[in-house]
Structure 1
């Protein structure tokens, strides 16, 4: 099963896309959909206090993908 290996962040530090173990570059929204569909493992979906959906890493030590290398 595919999993996240790298991230791309914007100038604010927000994740905008991911690279998967299959070498695909996918948007944050696509990663949400594929996590929900069970295509990507190691990630989970939750909602913040504002009711917005977000993706987080299943690894308890790195929930916000901070230790993942950049795509570029």
Structure 2
């Protein structure tokens, strides 16, 4: 089974990502998406612990800013 990727995002009024759309068309709220990332089901991203101790999703570092999660289209 091929791993999915994130293709679009929803953001709140502060510009924070609140939901993701996957390449299969599923819409995941941030917490659901985090679980999928931690489970290894989403490619091109990873979970990391921020300074505040919470877990966050970020794109894998590949030196290409165009595929940053913030650059994905909105849905």
Structure 2 portions without partners, runs of 5+: none
CA shift for structure 1 position 65 = 1.2
- Which of 20, 25, 28 pairs up with 2:30? 28
TM-score, with length taken from structure 2: 0.85
1:70 aligns to 2:56 (yes or no): no
After TM superposition, what 4+ stretches of structure 1 lie above 6 angstroms from structure 2? none
TM-score, with length taken from structure 1: 0.89
Superposed CA RMSD in Å reads: 1.5
Alignment deviations for residues 18-57 of structure 1 (CA, whole Å, 9 cap, x no partner): 0000000111111110011111111100011111110001
